[in-house]
């Protein structure tokens, strides 16, 4: 059984990917410092799959600990690197923490890949690298733009670190996956997104408002050049997204990649406005959401959605879950977490 290291595997996308990897017959080893995740997600993974992944708690910035890890686990066949700091606002306040956490952890992993002979890495990137694109939808060849935040810049620079390292070391192969907006939860409601404090992202804010933790959702802006004036994103179901990681790992393990470094957009291909997302939630949950329209949020872009042709044709992967079903999964998870079921 092939062993896959999932960094950040206790987190939101990492835990869903651990489940899909186990379902596909891989052995998962999770490294997580639990800075923005909970050990409880391992219980969820175990309940869903019947298997509890191996778990090591440490920070990837600590090179000695990482080297000790690879000595302890000499059979890792591939790495999926989720672990990163990801709050846009916080990255503006404490940029050095973001650069250190996100850049040094990838550099340490790549150095260990060379030292311990691990060929394959899948990296979590983001559509944030496109900024506000000049043309929609965005393909993988759409030019990247200057990042709007230190967080966004870490994704851009990490893509370059990966590309340059692979160019210089043909022993390493990598795939960068540019996520659009991952939302929803596992249909079992046993794992999901659990933001610390007040959520910055739309769907956790919606579900927390519906659950009574927040008095109202603020819709940031209704004067954008979009269908109803609210901003447009490409919301991708987290289980669909997790499955793309299994395909990407298989592609590397089976040498199906066309070049050493590849990039794929992971989205649905559909642009959805904030107000449409609210409607989809209301329809799926049967709960009327209290919301009000306020001014734009600083740093937000107007609209973005993915051209998924390359991922569909080359990976053979496609987002399958509809937005209402995804919203329902987010709602079932929120209710379970709040003891409402
Ligand atoms: C944000 C980041 C992005 C990052 C991603 C990771 C910004 C500008 N972008 O994406 O770089 O990769 O999170 O999670 O922060 N909205 C509301 N009310 C709310 C919350 C959100 O109206 O309370 C709107 C936003 O204005 C936006 C949409 O909902 O139009 C989605 O917002 P969000 O979930 O925060 O994602 P992004 O901003 O797209």
Q: For 301-334, what is each residue's pLDDT tens digit?
A: 999 999 999 999 999 999 999 999 999 999 999 9
Q: Identify the CATH class of 202-233+269-337.
A: alpha beta
Pocket flag, ligand 1, residue 219 (CB < 6 Å): yes
Q: In the structure, what pLDDT confidence band is assigned to residue 162 with cuts at 50, 70 and 90?
A: very high
Pocket flag, ligand 1, residue 138 (CB < 6 Å): no
For the chain, residues classed under CATH 3.40.50.720 are 3-183+234-266
- pLDDT for the residue 341: 73
Instruction: Say what percent of the chain tops pLDDT 70.
Output: 100
- pLDDT for the residue 173: 98
Q: For 20-77, what is each residue's pLDDT tens digit?
A: 999 999 999 999 999 999 999 999 999 999 999 999 999 999 999 999 999 999 999 9
Give yes or no: 151 in active site.
yes
Pocket flag, ligand 1, residue 218 (CB < 6 Å): yes
Pocket flag, ligand 1, residue 87 (CB < 6 Å): no
What is the mean pLDDT of the segment spanning 262-283? Answer: 98
User: Which residue, judged by its Cα, is nearest atom 8 of ligand 1?
Assistant: 300
Pocket flag, ligand 1, residue 202 (CB < 6 Å): yes
CB atoms within 10 A of CB 296: 14
CA of residue 257 relative to chain centroid, distance: 22
| Ranges of H-type helices in 143-287 | 150-168, 202-210, 238-253, 274-285
Pocket flag, ligand 1, residue 181 (CB < 6 Å): yes
Dihedral of alpha carbons 52, 320, 332, 90, sign? positive
Q: In the structure, what pLDDT confidence band is assigned to residue 267 with cuts at 50, 70 and 90?
A: very high
What is d(CA 139, CA 304) in angstroms, rounded to the nearest whole number? Answer: 11
User: Which residue, judged by its Cα, is nearest atom 11 of ligand 1?
Assistant: 128
Pocket flag, ligand 1, residue 220 (CB < 6 Å): yes
What are the angstrom distances between the C-alpha of 269 and each of 122, 185, 232, 334? 22, 20, 12, 26
- pLDDT for the residue 26: 98
**136, 129, 118, 113: which is closest to 177 by C-alpha?**
129
**Probe ligand 1: pick from 98, 202, 205, 226, max atoms within 8 Å of CB?**
202
Length of the chain: 341
Q: In the structure, what pLDDT confidence band is assigned to residue 194 with cuts at 50, 70 and 90?
A: very high
**Probe ligand 1: pick from 84, 88, 146, max atoms within 8 Å of CB?**
88
CA of 68 to the centre of ligand 1 (A): 37
Nearest-atom number in ligand 1 for the CA of 206 is 23
Instruction: Please list, in sequence order, all residues whose beta carbon lies within 8 angstroms of the beta carbon of residue 272, skipping any fewer than 6 positions away.
Output: 232, 233, 234, 235, 280, 323
**Probe ligand 1: pick from 201, 271, 299, 323, max atoms within 8 Å of CB?**
201
What is d(CA 5, CA 150) in angstroms, rounded to the nearest whole number? Answer: 26
CB burial readout 29-52, b (16+ within 10 A) else e: bbbbbeebbeeebbebbeebbeee
CB atoms within 10 A of CB 205: 19
| CA torsion angle 235 239 241 246 (round to 10) | -170
For the chain, residues classed under CATH 3.90.25.10 are 202-233+269-337
CA of 259 to the centre of ligand 1 (A): 32
Q: 3-183+234-266 falls under which CATH superfamily?
A: NAD(P)-binding Rossmann-like Domain (3.40.50.720)
Nearest-atom number in ligand 1 for the CA of 183 is 34
In the predicted structure, residue 261 carries a pLDDT above the cut 90? yes
CA of 81 to the centre of ligand 1 (A): 22
What is d(CA 85, CA 61) in angstroms, rounded to the nearest whole number? Answer: 12
**270, 292, 287, 289: which is closest to 332 by C-alpha?**
287
What is d(CA 188, CA 191) in angstroms, rounded to the nearest whole number? Answer: 8
């Amino acid at each position: 059984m092939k062993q896959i290291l999932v960094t950040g595997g206790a987190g939101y996308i990492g835990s869903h990917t651990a489940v899909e990897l186990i379902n596909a017959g891989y052995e998962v080893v999770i490294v997580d410092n639990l800075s923005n995740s909970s050990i409880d997600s391992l219980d969820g993974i175990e309940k869903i799959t019947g298997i509890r992944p191996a778990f090591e708690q440490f920070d990837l910035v600590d090179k000695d600990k990482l080297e000790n890890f690879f000595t302890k686990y000499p059979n890792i066949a591939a790495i999926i690197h989720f672990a990163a700091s990801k709050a846009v606002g916080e990255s503006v306040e404490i940029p050095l923490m973001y650069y250190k956490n996100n850049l040094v952890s990838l550099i340490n992993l790549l150095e260990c890949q060379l030292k311990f002979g691990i060929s394959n890495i899948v990296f979590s990137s983001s559509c944030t690298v496109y900024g506000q694109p000049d043309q929609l939808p965005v393909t993988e060849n759409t030019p990247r733009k200057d990042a709007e935040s230190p967080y966004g810049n870490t994704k851009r620079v990490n893509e370059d670190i990966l590309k340059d390292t692979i160019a210089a070391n043909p022993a390493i192969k990598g795939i960068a996956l540019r996520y659009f907006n991952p939302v929803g939860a596992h249909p079992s409601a046993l794992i999901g997104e659990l933001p610390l404090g007040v959520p910055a992202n739309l769907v956790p804010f919606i579900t927390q408002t519906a659950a009574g933790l927040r008095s109202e959702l603020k819709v940031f802006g209704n004067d954008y050049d979009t269908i109803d004036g609210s901003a447009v994103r490409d919301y991708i179901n987290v289980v669909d997204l997790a499955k793309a990681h299994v395909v990407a790992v298989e592609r590397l393990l089976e040498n199906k990649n066309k070049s050493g470094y590849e990039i794929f957009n992971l989205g649905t291909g559909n642009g959805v406005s904030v107000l449409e997302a609210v409607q989809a939630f209301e329809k799926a949950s049967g709960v009327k959401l209290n919301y009000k329209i306020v001014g734009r949020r600083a740093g937000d872009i107007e609209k973005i959605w993915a051209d998924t042709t390359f991922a569909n044709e080359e990976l053979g992967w496609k987002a399958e879950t509809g937005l209402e079903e995804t919203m329902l999964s987010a709602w079932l998870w929120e209710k379970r977490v709040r003891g409402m079921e």
